[in-house]
Structure 1
Amino acid sequence: MQDTTHTDSRLALDLALTIRHDGHGGVADDLSDLAGLTAWVREHAETLPDASELSVDETTLAAVRDLRAAVRALFARAVRPGAPSPADATRLVPVPEAVARLNAAAARTPTVPVLHWTDDTEPVVHRQPSPRGTDLTAVLAQAAIAFVSGADRRRLRACPAPRCVRYFLKDHPRQEWCKPSCGNRARVARHHERHKQGGRP
């Protein structure tokens, strides 16, 4: 994984965005099954180490979904006093539990002992990350920790447009929505609401 804040931010945000508006007034889950998780991992091959070798099974799927719930709970906290995404606002994981989930998952990074023994010293063993056996949830948890502890957290917003459930990074002071189509939808909704109220502003 490229060790940059932008990459970490994008990966953590993209994980949260696997919960999205389905285009029909409901909410879709891109990680509802193994095929969805496999496709998502492949789409992020550039930021996930050894993406082609990651084993994806039901246990991994459940762990990633649990981690995503924790990430979205922390995103909801990060956007306060603004409202969280309506997709899960009524069933957010408590913040202490979300933090514990992230820390536990991040700790699952496999390590190996590495021997150092130079002239005139005693042998010393250090542990370092294993070049093999990458744990997907550990990578995602570390990306999420980098995001919530970094500067991008302050730019995080929940899109207030009707039916949108996305989080986004605010790129400029006047940005209100995650994308222009949401802005258009919000303006149309406001127009209809004013019309229903007899034209009152």
Structure 2
Amino acid sequence: MTEQLALELAVTVRHDGQGGVADDLLTPGGLAHWLHGRDGGPALRALVESGGFTADEPALRAVREVRAAVRALFARAVAPRPASAADAGRLMRAEDALDVLAAAAGRVPTVARLDWPPDGAPSLRRAPAVPAAPADRLAALLAEAAMDFLAGPERDRLRACPAPRCVRYFVKEHPRQEWCKPSCGNRTRVARHHARHHARQRPAPPAPDA
């Protein structure tokens, strides 16, 4: 499901396990590693597996720009709940983020194409109308996935994980889900337990003089 790409792109900014924030897309090598771990549908697989694609600096810049727009719009989507703490204080304006996605998608005009193999069912896909640079094709694919996600039903279930130190966004899978994964729930419960314990151990303030 290509819409899932938007969430997977957003969470390349994550907790590093040491109390800080890690970025999986700091280098072209990081981008290559991330792309080869994605499903992302036939369009992404065809692009990544083609001989003409290289995870170079232009591709990295294009993807990071789309990611910045996605995270800004995710923050808007979860409001009035808190956004991810990783970049809540330095997000681009939502209007600018929408323009970034539109510009990225517009770099690669597409046309509808019906594929119908002799031994299978027909399927509809979007194909580039004109040749385009691989970096532009990748940015356009990710931007369209983000727009599909934000215009779809999963947007209302999007949350920023409230666990201590976690900075991930996630889609709420059931009504009682509060955290992105069980380990975040465990960490939150431990933090609450310690807070209650320290509150009980805190000495009472001295009584006022009579």
Same fold (TM over 0.5): yes
- Asked if residue 96 in structure 1 is aligned to residue 95 in structure 2, the reply is yes
Secondary structure at the counterpart of residue 173 of structure 1: coil
State the Cα distance separating 1:144 from its structure 2 match.
0.1
* Map of 2:36 onto structure 1: 42
CA deviations on 1:12-37 (whole Å, 9 max, x unpaired) are 00000100000000000000000000
Confirm or deny: 8 A CA contact 1:103 1:141 kept in the other structure.
Answer: yes
Instruction: Judge conservation of contact 2:5–2:40 (CA < 8 Å) in 1.
Output: no
SS at match of 2:2: helix
Gaps of 5+ in 1: 1-6, 113-127
Instruction: Please identify, of 166-175 and 38-47, the stretch whose mean Cα deviation from structure 2 is larger.
Output: 38-47
Q: Which residue in the other structure is 2:70 paired with? A: 71
Unaligned 5+ residue runs, structure 2?
A: 112-126, 203-210
Contact kept in structure 1, 2:72 and 2:94, CA below 8 Å:
yes
Q: Which protein shows a greater Rg? A: 2
**Contact 2:75–2:84 (CA under 8 A) maintained in structure 1:** yes
Q: Could you state the TM-score of these two structures normalised by the residue count of structure 1?
A: 0.84
CA contact (8 A) 1:45 1:52 kept: no
- Aligned to 1:8, the other structure's residue is in SS state coil
The one-letter code matched in structure 1 to 2:26 is S
Give the superposition deviation at 1:46: 4.9
Identity of aligned residues (%): 58
The RMSD of aligned alpha carbons is: 2.2
Note if contact 2:66-2:139 (Cα within 8 Å) is conserved in structure 1. Answer: yes
Residue 171 in 1 paired to residue 173 in 2? yes
Distance 2:40 2:139 in 1: 16
1:140 is aligned with what amino acid?
L
Per the TM alignment, residue 147 of structure 1 is displaced from its structure 2 partner at its CA by: 0.4
The one-letter amino acid of 1:15's match is: L
TM-score by length of 2: 0.80
Aligned positions, number: 181
> Separation in 2 of the partners of 1:149 and 1:168?
16
AA paired with 2:4?
Answer: R
